[in-house]
Amino acid sequence: MNRRIYIVIVGLLALIGGANAQTLSVEATEGKVGEQATLTVSLVDAAAATALQFNLSLPANVTVNESGCALGNAAKNHTLSVNKMNNGDYLFVMYSMDFTALTDGTLLTIPVNIGNGATTGNGNLNTVRSAKSDAISQQHQNASFAVNVVSYILGDISGDGEVDVSDYIGVANFIMGDTPEGFIEAAADVNKDKLVDVSDYIGVANIILYGNIYGPVANASRSAAQMENSNSSASDNLIYIEPFKADANSQATVSFKMKNTADIRGFQFDLYLPKGISVVKDAKNRIKGLLANERKPEGDQHTLTLSKQQDGAIRFLCASMYDETFTGNDGEIATLTVNIAENMAEGDHPILLKKMKLSETNIGNCYETESRLATITISNNSATGIRQLATDRDSETYYNLQGQRVNKPAKGVFIKNGKKVMMK
């Protein structure tokens, strides 16, 4: 299985020098293999030292990013020199040309790269020396700190040793704002971008079905032209709402469209509605959002989940657990039923889509758009009943009373051009 490793570096280092003892401490930190962690070294009881040097040794496959080392407030008037020695240790030297004394506090930060194969071991500071303005040096005791390596299975957000449907559901819950107990966020971030979103949701499904985060290695059902879609950009792949009109004191269906040149398997975005427009919920208190039928692939298994966030946004999350992508390149992808308040002011009101992400089956191809603005124009025509909001509906477009577009309406009551009609 794919495993990810992070190391936790902990320890307290005592540098003993008789009456003028100094203490260096290394803060606890953690880092994942292939990424970078930061060691923070602090100084206590500086004892008027103006210069300090030590050698730093680290476990195998853990290395210092020399150019990223930086002095802290305890040595803000000092100069830092870092050099890797032949034995693999790093020599750190801090000094002041005008003999300014070191002070208590953060001495320096040391970024370390966590390489493949890092295992549990010890790091240490050795050959530690300090000097005062009289240039008399003093040697201090060496000490070590522990480096603990902990592993987890990529995609196993529960830590039970397996990646299964519970992890798939758990990632969805986390994205929607309901964090499961014991959730391991690092395990859920399968594409390593420091965010858990629709790409990771699809990635966990890929692990369950195909044993890797990118899905099937080869898919004979996709044409060569489709496989080239990985060169698409965010501007070629997005969800939008066209400007529309609606009456106050009505219930309406908002249409979301997706434009895409890539093969999109899933998407997510946050919807911000203006004051006076509220979502309609079903008998189970769920927000009434639905996928449009026209763009679903044959035998479609996509699911659409909606949840209200703390900032008032309605978050949409949609994906298929299988390697299914939406059909077509532009058109309605989902609908949402809303109420327009009776006292909503006439005129233009903004509707905002934010944090938009569209992902292919290969989650390395994810298209992000920070925000997209639409406009709803409210009129006060004293109309009642369900109103359709999009402006591009032709005379033969029907919706059922649940807000779903219907191609060939059978018997019953439907919505056509914002009005109820009876089909016999």
Highest mean pLDDT among 178-187, 288-297, 396-405: 288-297
What is the average per-residue pLDDT within 244-266? 94
**What CATH number labels 154-216?**
1.10.1330.10
pLDDT of 151: 64
Instruction: Tell how strand 90-95 and strand 51-57 pair up.
Output: antiparallel
Mean pLDDT of the chain: 83
pLDDT at 43: 85
The pLDDT of 383-405, averaged and rounded, is 53
The pLDDT of residue 28 is above 90: no
Instruction: Write down the pLDDT at residue 233.
Output: 78
CA proximity to 301, closest of 271, 322, 316, 276: 322
Q: What does the pLDDT average to over 189-214?
A: 92
pLDDT at 404: 64
Cα separation, 125 vs 156, whole angstroms: 36
What's the CATH class of domain 3-151?
Answer: mainly beta
- Give the pLDDT score at 122: 79
Which band of pLDDT confidence, cut at 50, 70 and 90, is reported for residue 285? very high
Question: For residue 178, what pLDDT is reported?
Answer: 93
Q: What is the pLDDT of residue 176?
A: 95
- List, for residues 54-80, the tens digit of each pLDDT value: 999 998 888 999 999 999 999 988 999
pLDDT 10s digits, 95-148: 998 889 999 899 999 998 877 777 777 788 888 888 887 766 777 777 677 666
Phi, psi angles (nearest 5°) of residue 385:
95, 180
| Mean pLDDT value of segment 176-202 | 91
Query: Which range, of 107-116, 323-332, 337-346, averages the lowest pLDDT?
Result: 107-116
Say whether pLDDT at 383 is over 80. Answer: no
Query: How confident is the model at residue 320, as a pLDDT?
Result: 94
> Do the domains at 3-151 and 154-216 have one common CATH topology?
no
Residue scoring higher pLDDT (128 or 405): 128
Asked whether the predicted pLDDT for residue 6 surpasses 80, the reply is no
**pLDDT at 344 > cutoff 90:** yes
Q: What is the mean pLDDT of residues 143-160?
A: 75
- Check residue 148 and give its pLDDT: 62
Out of 124-138, 176-190, 240-254, pick the least confident.
124-138
Span 46-52, average pLDDT: 84
**Please, which residues bridge with residue 415 across strands?**
399, 420
| Domain residue spans of the chain | 3-151, 154-216, 234-423
Q: Is the pLDDT of residue 225 over 50?
A: no
Q: How confident is the model at residue 253 (pLDDT cuts 50, 70, 90)?
A: very high
Give me the percent of the chain exceeding a pLDDT of 90: 51
* Domain 234-423 CATH class label: mainly beta
Q: Flag whether pLDDT at 234 surpasses 90.
A: no
Is pLDDT of 311 > 70? yes
The answer on pLDDT for 223 being more than 60 is no
At residue 144, the pLDDT reads 72
